[in-house]
Structure 1
Amino acid sequence: MKIKKVVGITVVALVITMGIQKAMAVEEASYVLISKDKAFEIREYTPHVVAETLVEGNMQNVSNKAFMKLFRYISGSNVSRSNVAMTAPISQQVTGEKIPMTAPVGQQRVAEKWLISFMMPKSYSLTTLPQPQDSSITLRQVPAQRMAVLRYSGMWSEKSDLSHEQELTAWMGKMGLTATENTIWARYNPPFTPWFLRRNEVMIPINS
């Protein structure tokens, strides 16, 4: 009975997790696949807007630290530009515009800190996005970029991330590709997603 109970709880947890992921990651960054060599890809990404924040800490923990800060922004902790009609009764709550979750969450080293970013939905621009209430969050327009990419699964760990970065840079060397900016680690799932359901990518901007 205990085994059946554990299995039942596990299945329910997986269903809930997959349901949350489906609801959250309804839109992904748009790109054109330029070429593919086994697990390695070259992609051309279209311009997009990101909400980003700089955080301190080790590589493995900063994603979780920044995730909730950025998640609060898209969940309504922002200065909404929408007009809301007066209603009754009057209640008190966090006000602001809810912004649909997108994928991936980006992580990039900047000096001694880490830049964590959420891609904003394509329906928004810099002028239509609500301003964050948290002054440590900024909005930025990202131009079109060509990326060398390697996809992998598993937990977010410094050892795994750096190992896959080395694989990608070694392949780039064979292909004669040169990095133009720092490496970006892309996370497609929220922090509570089981390791075997996670989709991760290491991405390196390259010359067109």
Structure 2
Amino acid sequence: MVVIRNLLSHPFLRGVLILIAFTFTGAVMATEEPKYTVLEKEPPFEIRAYAPMIVAEVQVEGDLDGASSQGFRLIAAYIFGQNQVSEKIAMTAPVTVVDQSVKNAKIAMTAPVGIESNAGKWVVSFVMPAEYTMETIPKPLNSQVQLRQIPAVKKAVISFSGFYNDQKVAEKTLELEQWMKTKNLQSAGTPNFARYNPPWTLPFMRRNEVMFNLRD
């Protein structure tokens, strides 16, 4: 007890302990994720079959990190009650970031982080809880927030921990592309970047993923 009191009396150490406590609390709390089945696994790679889902998404501008933060705030406001019935919607994971400039260039499906954004336009999206349908989900008050139904799809995925940046995402995207070639897998478009953890999560506990939609 004396040791603990001494640690808590030091501002820096107290902050570290609080950060660790929040991280482990967040790790054990159940956060809903999109429903999927793992079809093949060769760590850090997987092939997954995803069930249909609804996403709330916004288009924002800036670099990857700035766009991610801005998009997060807009959609968080929607799920925290800025909707037609003032209903709070459960937080889910992951948050997905998409390079809208490439999407506008008529590349199929949705896509990419890990490549340069010519126009600096991105789509940030949250997956909505599975209990909702397009008919029952609360409608956003902010016209920037759009709801969209995503059909069932297979994805090739690479997972990695730690902090992310453009270079690291690009490196992981290349690793995934090379693995897909060994499996003769064809992508249906370009990659998505997904992050699963709150910002206070310790680097070694963070989960990030790059995903490609796969052709049937």
TM range (shorter): 0.7 to 0.9
Tell me the distance in 2 between the aligned counterparts of 1:26 and 1:110.
27
Q: Report how many aligned residue pairs link the two structures.
A: 192
Could you list the structure 1 runs, at least 4 aligned residues long, displaced by more than 4 angstroms after superposition: 1-4, 20-23
| Matched AA of 1:16 | F
Paired letter, 1:187: R
User: Which among 45, 52, 66 is matched to residue 47 of structure 1?
Assistant: 52
Aligned equivalents of 2:95, 2:153: Cα separation in 1: 16
| Uncovered stretches (5+) of structure 2, i.e. residues with no partner | 1-5, 102-118
Query: Deviations along 1:129-167, whole A, 9 cap, x unmatched?
Result: 111111111000000010000000111211111110111
Superposition pairs of residues 71-86 of structure 1, within 5 angstroms: 71-80=76-85
1:7 matches 2:13:
yes
Instruction: Name the counterpart of 1:100.
Output: 90
Could you tell me how far apart the structure 1 residues matched to 2:96 and 2:58 are?
11
SS in 1 for 2:213: strand
Q: Is the 8 A contact 1:105 1:187 kept in 2?
A: yes
Q: Which runs of 5+ in 1 are unaligned?
A: 81-95
SS at match of 1:78: coil
Quote the Cα distance in structure 1 between the aligned partners of 2:7 and 2:132: 49
Identical-pair percentage: 37
Shift of the 40–120 alpha-carbon distance from structure 1 to 2, 3 Å rule, reads same
Secondary structure, counterpart of 2:64 in structure 1:
coil
- Normalised TM-score (structure 1): 0.85
CA shift at 1:190, angstroms?
2.3
The counterpart of 2:144, out of the listed 125, 136, 141, is 136
Q: Which letter maps to 1:149?
A: V
Return the match for 1:202 from 199, 206, 210: 210
The CA distance in 2 between the partners of 1:153 and 1:43, in whole Å, is 19
What secondary structure, in the 3-state scheme, does the structure 2 residue paired with 1:42 have? strand
> Per residue, is there more strand in 1 or in 2?
1
CA RMSD of aligned residues (A): 1.8
Out of 159, 167, 170, the residue aligned to residue 178 of structure 2 is 170
1:119 equivalent to 2:127? Answer: yes
Say if 1:57 and 1:22 are closer, same or farther in 2 by CA, change over 3 A.
farther
Distance 1:34 1:125 in 2: 26
Which residue does the alignment assign to 1:70? 75
Deviation at residue 183 of structure 1 after TM alignment: 0.6
**TM-score, normalised by the number of residues in structure 2:** 0.82
User: Which residue does the alignment assign to 1:19?
Assistant: 25
Query: How far has the Cα of 1:177 moved from its partner?
Result: 1.1
